[in-house]
Amino acid sequence: MNRELMSYKGIKLILALISVMTIIQSVCIIYQAKWLADIISSLFAGHRLSSVSNQIIYFAFAFTGRYALSLLIKRGAYLFAQKTGTRLREQVLAKLFQLGPAFVRREGTGNLVTLVLEGISQVRTFIGLILPRMSSMGITPVMILMIVFIENKTSGVILLVTMPVLIVFMILLGLAAQKKMDMQWSAYRTLSNHFVDSLRGIETLKFLGLSKKHGTSIKRVSDKYRTMTMRTLRLAFLSSFALDFFTMLSVATVAVMLGLQLIKGEILLNSALMILILAPEYFLPVRELGADYHATLNGKEAASAIQSIMDVPNEQKIEDHLDLSPWNENSEMTLNKVSMYRNEEGKMSLNCINLNVKGFKKIGIIGESGAGKSTLIDILSGFITPTEGEIHLSGNEHPLSSLTHEEWRQQITYIPQTPYIFSQSVLDNVRFYKPSASDAEVKQALEQAGLADLVSQFPDGINEQIGNGGRMMSGGQEQRIALARAFLCERPIILLDEPTAHLDIETEYALKETMLPLFKQKLVFFATHRLHWMKQMDYIIVLNQGKIIEEGTLDELLNKKGEFHKLIQSQLEGLE
Amino acid sequence: MKEWFIDYIKRYWRRFIVIVIVSILAVLCGAALMFTSGYLISKAALRPENVLMIYVPIVAVRTFGIGRAAIQYIARLTSHDATLRILSEMRIQLYKILEPRALFIRSKVRTGNILGLLSDDIEHLQDIYLRTIFPSIVALSVYFIVIFSLGWFSIPFALIMAIYLFILIVFFPLVSLWITKRKSQEINHQRNHLYQSLTDAVLGVSDLMISGRSKAFIRNHEMDETEITKIESSLHSMSQVREFISQGIIGLIVISMIVWSSGMANTHQIPGTLIAAFVLVVFTLGEIFIPISESTEKISQYQTSLDRLQETSHFETEDSKNEIENVSLHQKVTICLDHVHFRHDNESDWAINDLSLTIKQGEKIAIIGRSGAGKSSLIKLIYGALQPERGTITLNGIPANHFGDKMSKMISVLNQTPYLFDTTIRNNIRLGHQQASDEDIKRAAKQAKLDEYIESLPLGYQSAVDEMGENFSGGQRQRLALARVLLQNTPIVLMDEPTVGLDPSTEKELLETIFEAMKGKTLIWVTHHLVGADKMDKVIFMEQGKIEMQGHHRELMNQFERYRRLYQLDVPYQL
* pLDDT tens, position by position, B368-409: 988 778 888 898 899 888 889 899 999 988 888 888 888 888
Instruction: Assess whether pLDDT exceeds 80 at residue A351.
Output: yes
For the stretch A27-44, pLDDT in tens is: 999 999 999 999 999 999
Residue B249's pLDDT is 95
Is the predicted pLDDT of residue B158 greater than 80, yes or no? yes
Separation of CA A415 from chain center? 26
Chain B residue numbers touching A423 (CB-CB < 8 A): 196, 199-200
Write out residues 380-409 of A within 8 Å (CB-CB) of B: 381-383, 406, 409
> Residues of chain B with pLDDT > 90: what percent?
40
| Integer CA distances (angstroms), B455 to B433, B449, B514, in order | 21, 11, 21
Residue of A nearest to B403 (CA): A209
The total number of residues shown for chain A amounts to 576
User: How many interchain CB pairs under 8 A, A with B?
Assistant: 435
Residue B41 exposure: Cα atoms within 13 Å on the Cβ side: 34
The most confident of the ranges A65-69, A260-264, A385-389, B488-492 is A65-69
Interface membership of A44 toward B (CB under 8 Å): yes
Comparing B531 with A150, which gets the higher pLDDT?
Answer: A150
Task: Please say if the pLDDT value at position B244 is more than 50.
Answer: yes
CA distance B247 to B534: 82
Rounded Cα gap, residues A485 and A454, in angstroms: 16
Task: Tell me how far CA of residue B565 lies from CA of A510, B556, B569, in angstroms.
Answer: 11, 11, 7
Distances (CA, A) of A382 to A433, B208, B497: 16, 13, 34
pLDDT of A320 higher than 90: no
Task: Check A509 against B569: CB less than 8 A apart.
Answer: yes
DSSP-derived secondary structure for B344-391: SSTTSPPSEEEEEEEE-TT-EEEEEE-TTSSHHHHHHHHHTSS--SEE
CA-closest candidate to residue B257, choices B139, B160, B376, B118: B160
Fold for domain B419-489?
Answer: Rossmann fold (3.40.50)
Min distance B200 CA to chain A CA atoms (Å): 6
Residues B262, A49: C-beta atoms closer than 8 Å: yes
The phi, psi pair for B367, rounded to 5°, reads -115, 130
ipTM rounded to 2 decimals = 0.85
DSSP string, B158-224: HHHHHHHHHIIIIIHHHHHHHHHHHHHHHHHHHHHHHHHHHHHHHHTHHHHHHHT-HHHHHHHHHHH
pLDDT band at B445 (very low <50, low <70, confident <90, very high): very high
Give the closest-approach CA distance of B500 to chain A in angstroms.
6
**Chain centroid to CA A516: how far?**
40
If you compute the radius of gyration of chain A from its CA atoms, what whole number of angstroms results?
A: 35
Give how far B501 is from chain A: nearest CA, Å.
6
Distance CA A334, CA A326 (A): 16
CB of A416 within 8 Å of a chain B CB? The answer is yes
pLDDT tens across A55-99, in order?
A: 999 999 999 999 999 999 999 999 999 999 999 999 999 998 888
Greater pLDDT, B124 or A440: A440
Compute the nearest-CA separation of A6 from chain B (Å).
Answer: 23
Kindly determine whether residue A259 and residue B40, on different chains, have CB atoms separated by under 8 Å.
yes
Give contacts of A 309-328 with B, CB under 8 A.
none
Between A235 and A149, where is the model more confident?
Answer: A149
CB contact under 8 A, B210 and A276: no
Instruction: Point out which residues pair with A425 in neighbouring strands.
Output: A465
- Nearest by Cα to B207 from A530, A467, A318: A467
Chain B touched by A95 (CB under 8 Å): no
What pLDDT digit, counting tens, does each position of B194-212 carry?
Answer: 888 888 888 888 888 888 8
* Pairwise CB contact (< 8 Å): B115 & A60: no
The C-alpha atoms of residue A367 and residue A529 are separated, in whole angstroms, by 6
Chain A's closest residue to B574, CA to CA, is A532
Nearest in space to A526 (alpha carbons), one of A563, A550, A494:
A494
Question: Which residues in chain A have Cβ-Cβ distances shorter than 8 Å to B407?
Answer: 209
Tell me where in chain B the CATH 1.20.1560.10 domain(s) lie.
Answer: 2-312
Question: Are B370 and A506 in contact, with CB atoms under 8 Å apart?
Answer: yes
> What is the model's pLDDT at position B470?
53
Q: Do B206 and A71 touch (CB under 8 A)?
A: no
- How many residues appear in chain B? 575
- Do residue B528 and residue A110 have CB atoms under 8 angstroms apart? no
Picking from B66, B119, B204, the nearest residue to A199 by CB comes out as: B119
pLDDT at site B110? 47
Q: Is A49 on the interface with B (CB under 8 A)?
A: yes
**CB within 8 Å: B210 and A248:** no
Residue type, A175: L
Considering only CB atoms, B218 lies closest to which of A59, A93, A247, namely A93
Grade residue B326 by pLDDT with cuts at 50, 70 and 90: low
CB contact under 8 A, B573 and A74: no
Q: Do B202 and A575 touch (CB under 8 A)?
A: no
Q: How far apart are CA A300 and CA A125, in angstroms?
A: 10
d(CA A295, CA A569): 62
Distance from CA of B66 to the nearest CA of A (A): 6
Q: Which pLDDT tens digit goes with each residue over A510-548?
A: 899 989 999 999 999 999 988 889 989 999 999 988 899
Chain A residues 210-269 within an 8 A CB cutoff of chain B: 210-212, 214-215, 218-219, 222-223, 225-226, 229-230, 233-234, 237-238, 240-241, 244-245, 247-249, 251-253, 255-256, 258-260, 262-263, 265, 269
All residues of chain A having their beta carbon less than 8 Å from the beta carbon of residue B531 are 574-575
Q: What is the pLDDT of residue B238?
A: 93
For the segment B42-53, the average pLDDT, to the nearest whole number, is 84
Res B281 pLDDT > 70: yes
Q: Please determine, for residue A574, whether its predicted confidence score (pLDDT) is greater than 70.
A: no
Determine, for residues A472 and B110 on separate chains, whether the beta-carbon distance falls below 8 Å.
yes
CA distance B573 to B575: 5
Range A377-384 average pLDDT = 90
- Average pLDDT of the segment spanning A342-359: 81
Contacts of B575 in chain A (CB under 8 A): 531-532, 534-535, 554, 558, 568
Q: What is the mean pLDDT of chain B?
A: 87
Q: What is the pLDDT of residues A154-213, one digit of tens each?
A: 999 999 999 999 889 888 888 888 888 787 777 777 777 888 888 888 888 888 888 888
**Average predicted confidence (pLDDT) for chain A:** 88
Q: Where in chain B is the domain with CATH 3.40.50.300?
A: 419-489
Q: Which range scores top for mean pLDDT: A106-115, A170-179, B146-155?
A: B146-155
Whether residue A476 and residue B371 make contact (CB cut-off 8 A), yes or no, is: yes
The number of helix segments (H) and strand segments (E) in chain B equals 21, 10
**Cβ atoms within 10 Å of A44's Cβ, excluding its own:** 23
> Is residue A499 helix, strand or coil?
coil
Give the residues across from B539 on adjacent strands: B366, B551
**Which CATH number is associated with domain B2-312?**
1.20.1560.10
Residues 6+ apart with CB under 8 A from B197: B220, B221, B224
Q: What angle do CA B394, B399, B405 make, to 5 degrees?
A: 115
Highest mean pLDDT range out of A461-475, A483-497, B290-304?
Answer: A483-497
**Do residues B464 and B424 make contact, with C-beta atoms less than 8 angstroms apart?**
yes
What letter would DSSP give residue B461? G
DSSP-assigned letter for residue B237 = H
Q: DSSP readout, B76-132?
A: HHHHHHHHHHHHHHHHHHHHHHHGGGTTTHHHH--SS-HHHHHHHHHHHHHHIIIII
Distances (CA, A) of A508 to A425, A475, A505, B74: 25, 10, 5, 67
Phi/psi region, residue B109 (left: phi>0; alpha: psi -120 to 50; beta: rest), is beta
Which residues of A fall within a CB distance of 8 Å from B28?
none
CB within 8 Å of A368: residues ≥ 6 apart: A529, A544, B503, B504, B505, B506
Percent of chain A clearing pLDDT 70 (strictly above):
97
Q: What are phi and psi of B504, to 5 degrees?
A: -55, -40
The average pLDDT across B414-418 equals 83
Assess A40–B contact: CB distance below 8 Å, yes or no.
yes
Backbone angles phi, psi at A472, to 5 degrees: -85, 145
Residue of B nearest to A316 (CA): B209
The percent of residues above 90 in pLDDT, for chain A, comes to 41
Measure the CA–CA gap between A7 and A29, rounded to whole angstroms: 32
CA A360 → CA A407, A421, A496, A525, B296, distances in Å? 19, 29, 15, 10, 67
* Interface contact flag, A63 B254, Cβ < 8 Å: yes
* Residue B111 confidence class, pLDDT cut points 50, 70, 90: very low
Q: Would you call A474 an interface residue with chain B, using a CB distance cutoff of 8 Å? A: yes
